[in-house]
A and B are shown apart, each in its own frame.
Chain A
Amino acid sequence: MVTNFQSHYIPNTIAEQDDLLAAVGLSSVDELFSDIPDDYRNPPLRLPDPMSELEIQRELGEMAGRNRPLASGPSFLGAGSYYHFIPSIVKAVMTRGEFLTAYTPYQPEVSQGTLQVIFEFQTMISALYGMEVANAGMYDGATSLAEAVLMACRVTRRQQVVVSDTVAPAYRQVIATYCQAQGVAIDIVPTADIGANVTEATAGVVAQYPNFYGGLDDLAGLAATAHDDGALLVVSADPLAMGMLKPPGGFGADIVTGEGQPIGIPPSFGGPYLGLFSCKQQYIRQMPSRLVGRTTDTRGRTGYVLTLQTREQHIRRERATSNICTNEALYALASTIYLAAMGRNGLRQVAELCYHKAHYAASAIAGLDGYSLAQSGEFFQEFVVSCPEAPAKINRRLMERNILGGLDVSDRFENGMLLCVTEMNSRQDIDLLVGSLPAAK
């Protein structure tokens, strides 16, 4: 099939194509495809006609305009994707072509930029989580936790895990998907019952910190429970909360994963995000995904390389620790820039802003007629309120005032709504929410 369409992404003109064809001894582009059986070659391709960039901007701008951005009004929805401030430098630096359009750093001599960034990333993630080693990243928080479950099974050579029912429902589903062909038994139980369910056959105890409903579980107790029976403690932790909270590593966790989105990545309708993955040094040879290590070149200069690659699919094939190849390197860069900018003090300040604002909102809502907090105990930036009517109905009412309410969790708490308050919510936003919750008299 001949096409005369000249795309601005493809330099070769028709005349140049003819020159190239002459050089390879053919007379038409179609002849290049003669290995494709005749009856199957050049099928109809029912796609729209090409568009100019001007038309594209209009079409995509129109489609984007039919979505409500979080910034367009007060928003209190969290539940796994969080609205946080991102300094301008994150986008400015990460979209440099030298980072954005580079491949995976398999050629270290011409990839030191990417490799050194990953080394910085590994350093900061292990520091945040209080762990000895972090890898170069995974797809997202859910898949990172699922891979941690598989790793716990490899390390312990056991095939059963006990998962707290306060782990995000979506994460529990992804764990089930990853384990469905591996013969791993998954017991989902209330946190209080974990001890009764752990046995000498248990590979890992799995918890979330803060948990999906906002609360802080007793990780020290869970670590003791797991370790008493030779199981690992696997924790999925919010990296931004680590600005103030004692990290899982400090409680004895063996593998700590997390969703990197809160630290420098926009909500973007759920992706691309970034899986964080860290563990104790003794388990590094069972880790999934890439690792960057420091070494020296032939002239003694410090440099960085992908290392311990014999764990990975391109070397070990069906015996690899995981099939993961492309991960989320660009967003590991975004998080690295974010953490560098926030630094020791900035991250603590942001975490504390979230904490104080969430507690202000929770106590004001608990003071409303018919509203109360569904759980007692410590929480970070999310909490469940018991509402006097169906959360779906309340959310519709809030949206009439352009307020995005919380997640409906009435499957677990009667008329429960999971609310999230971050540094992006001003006191005025919170007061507006509190004032809008009661039904109009």
Chain B
Amino acid sequence: MLNKGGNRDTTRLLMDRSVPGRVGVVTPGLDVPAAPLPDAAYLRDDLPLPEVSEPEVVQYFTSLSQLNFSIDTHFYPLGSCTMKYNPKINDEVAFLPGFAGIHPQQPAEQSQGALELLYRLQDFLTEVTGMAATSLATLAGAHGELGGVLMMRAYHLARGDSGRTKMGIPDSAHGTNPASAAMAGFDVVTIPSDADGNTDLVALREIATDDLAGVMITLPSTLGLFDTNILEVCQIVHECGGLVYGDGANMNALLGRAKLGELGFDVCHLNLHKTFSTPHGGGGPGAGPVCCVENLAPYLAAPVVAVNDAGEYSLAEPDQSIGKISGFHGNFGVLVRAYTYIRTLGAAGLLSISGNAVLNANYIMESLKDIYELPYDRTCMHEVVFSADRQRERGVSGLEVAKRLLDYGFHAPTMYFPLIVHEALMIEPTESETMETLDAFIDALRLIDSEATAEPELVQHAPHTTPVSRLDEATAARRPVLRWEAAAD
């Protein structure tokens, strides 16, 4: 990468660039008489923000952006994250003044278009999941999980069933599942996977007693597999009085192919920033709507959007709602994007997504399984999990294989997750990549395997071509430097 000089040099932070007297914005003059300022006890004497001009701001941040990999610039086969193409029209409509420029508390008569959009999106997501009702108030996947497990808790308590203190969670689950269950006051019990990567039914039966509030299941699992025991799982949990939560992180595989509500799930969340293409933004915003069956609908987070006989839309609070879980009505700008995406694609398009996402993942699996260990040799869903055990024998770890991919211009797969696969490399191509890209990626992984034999040091010390090389994370954690400080004189 070419080093840049002057303004575009990214090594100097904003405070290093600050020059007294420079301005980045000219503000309008005061057109009313000045009022006396508040008591000095309420006024600040110093505001340590930078003083930089507009061109510097644009040049600095643009130069920073170029240090990133992104979907628009690189293939991003990051398992479980569904890094698909983010359509530009979705951003454009979200920024329309009639959407981006409206106040969350303006009268319902002044926001009927926005409320109707939310109402229709609730219906779309209810239909996709085969559930009965949806709340859009939760702001990310983990936030949806918190809302969903709080609903499970409220449901049991409302029935006077107060002894259900345990939440069963598979050993392959995302870390957010146990963390969300803990925030909802549950003790987490781990459920092992069986030899085929399915839920271990024997172990599940052991915990399926009258203290089990429910289980949190990701389908397809984080192994990229459709759990063929899923109907029995739901049955066993229901028979003991528990509920089944669905983590919708992997819904890209199931669009139009199966509905969680029909399979026996009681409540689930969707990640609109994965399955429904809203941009991930370097770590959010997301949206994690919660969909549920009829019995649980009274407990949904407030608000939901309702419509009356006259066709007027309004915000409503479900009867026994767990309450408000966010400041207003959800991440509206993200919801507009997801609505636009579903409208653009329709039922036929959603089917094409799941079909091509799963097809692309299986193509990668078949093309690499002679070289990379495949712990579960079954048709995979939207992602495939390899192990780098064979490369490890030659002294090259999964992490190093992934870092070497960066040198070839591909983002790394998800590494060391799920935790039950040794040296895991989890690859999710999505439906929005071409065969040419998949082939180039496959070639790179085959080449890295040969490098692991011929020149292991090359792989072990990768990446070599990125803006920085391997960073010292240990020192960063031991002596945290979390903000700019003036250099000592």
Contact yes or no, A102 B366, CB < 8 A: no
Contact yes or no, A303 B93, CB < 8 A: no
If over half of B's interface residues share one DSSP class (helix, strand or loop), that class is named, otherwise mixed; here it is loop
With A60-B340, A297-B470 in contact, do A313 and B176 touch (Cβ < 8 Å)? yes
Contact yes or no, B379 A5, CB < 8 A: no
Number of chain B interface residues as a range: 35 or more
Interface flag for A286 (CB, 8 Å): no
Contact yes or no, B326 A174, CB < 8 A: yes
Interface flag for B351 (CB, 8 Å): yes
Residues of B within 8 A of A102 (CB): 68-71, 280-282
Q: How far is the CA of A99 from the CA of B61 in the complex (A)?
A: 10
Within residues 438 to 483 of chain B, which ones have a CB less than 8 A from any CB in chain A? 461, 463, 466-473, 475-477, 480-483
Q: How far is the CA of A102 from the CA of B411 in the complex (A)?
A: 10
Interface flag for A133 (CB, 8 Å): yes
Contact yes or no, B97 A71, CB < 8 A: yes
Contact yes or no, B468 A112, CB < 8 A: yes
Within residues 69 to 124 of chain A, which ones have a CB less than 8 A from any CB in chain B? 69-72, 75, 77, 79-81, 83, 87, 89, 91-93, 95-105, 107-114, 116-117, 119-120, 122-124
With A64-B96, A79-B105 in contact, do A307 and B81 touch (Cβ < 8 Å)? no
Q: What is the distance, in angstroms, from B395's C-beta to the closest C-beta of chain A?
A: 18
Q: What is the distance, in angstroms, from A282's C-beta to the closest C-beta of chain B?
A: 12
Residues of A within 8 A of B324 (CB): 142, 170, 173-174, 177
Q: What is the distance, in angstroms, from A368's C-beta to the closest C-beta of chain B?
A: 17
With A35-B379, A267-B103 in contact, do A133 and B483 touch (Cβ < 8 Å)? yes
Q: How far is the CA of A180 from the CA of B324 in the complex (A)?
A: 12
Contact yes or no, B83 A103, CB < 8 A: yes
Residues of B within 8 A of A24 (CB): 359, 362-363, 365-366
Q: How far is the CA of A12 from the CA of B473 in the complex (A)?
A: 40
Contact yes or no, A299 B44, CB < 8 A: no
Q: How far is the CA of A181 from the CA of B183 in the complex (A)?
A: 7
Residues of B within 8 A of A339 (CB): 49
Q: What is the distance, in angstroms, from A55's C-beta to the closest C-beta of chain B?
A: 9
Residues of A within 8 A of B365 (CB): 24
Interface flag for B355 (CB, 8 Å): yes
Q: Which of B124-132, B202-210, B386-394 contacts A (4 or more CB under 8 A)?
A: B124-132
Contact yes or no, A360 B35, CB < 8 A: yes
Residues of A within 8 A of B30 (CB): 352-353, 356-357
Interface flag for A155 (CB, 8 Å): no
Contact yes or no, B483 A341, CB < 8 A: no
Q: What mask results when residues 401 to 435 of chain A are scored 1 for a CB within 8 Å of chain B, else 0?
A: 00010010000000000000001001100100000
Within residues 314 to 328 of chain A, which ones have a CB less than 8 A from any CB in chain B? 314-320, 322-328
Residues of A within 8 A of B334 (CB): 271-272
Contact yes or no, A103 B58, CB < 8 A: no
Residues of B within 8 A of A245 (CB): 38, 42-44
Q: What is the distance, in angstroms, from A280's C-beta to the closest C-beta of chain B?
A: 12
Interface flag for B420 (CB, 8 Å): no
8 Å CB contact of A426 from B31, B83, B466:
B31
Q: How far is the CA of A81 from the CA of B141 in the complex (A)?
A: 24
Interface flag for B32 (CB, 8 Å): yes
Within residues 249 to 272 of chain B, which ones have a CB less than 8 A from any CB in chain A? 256-259, 262-263, 271
Q: How far is the CA of A108 from the CA of B70 in the complex (A)?
A: 13
Q: What mask results when residues 121 to 155 of chain B are scored 1 for a CB within 8 Å of chain A, else 0?
A: 00010011010000000011111011000100100
Within residues 349 to 390 of chain B, which ones have a CB less than 8 A from any CB in chain A? 349-353, 355-356, 358-360, 362-363, 365-367, 378-379
Residues of B within 8 A of A26 (CB): 362
Q: Which of B237-245, B290-298, B427-435 contacts A (4 or more CB under 8 A)?
A: B427-435
Interface flag for A158 (CB, 8 Å): no
Residues of B within 8 A of A189 (CB): none
With A307-B473, A341-B24 in contact, do A181 and B153 touch (Cβ < 8 Å)? yes
8 Å CB contact of B100 from A3, A136, A266:
A266
Contact yes or no, B406 A109, CB < 8 A: yes
Contact yes or no, A51 B343, CB < 8 A: yes
Within residues 295 to 354 of chain B, which ones have a CB less than 8 A from any CB in chain A? 301, 322-334, 336, 340, 342-353
Contact yes or no, A97 B360, CB < 8 A: no
Interface flag for A57 (CB, 8 Å): yes
With A63-B116, A243-B47 in contact, do A34 and B379 touch (Cβ < 8 Å)? yes
Interface flag for A68 (CB, 8 Å): yes
Within residues 34 to 62 of chain B, which ones have a CB less than 8 A from any CB in chain A? 34-35, 37-39, 41-45, 47-52, 54, 57-58, 60-62
Q: What is the distance, in angstroms, from B147's C-beta to the closest C-beta of chain A?
A: 9
Closest 4 CB pairs of A and B: A270-B328, A64-B98, A330-B281, A97-B72
Inter-chain pairs besides A25-B366, A343-B24, 12 sampled, C-beta below 8 Å: A9-B87, A47-B347, A69-B101, A104-B284, A139-B139, A142-B324, A143-B325, A268-B101, A268-B333, A320-B179, A340-B61, A360-B33
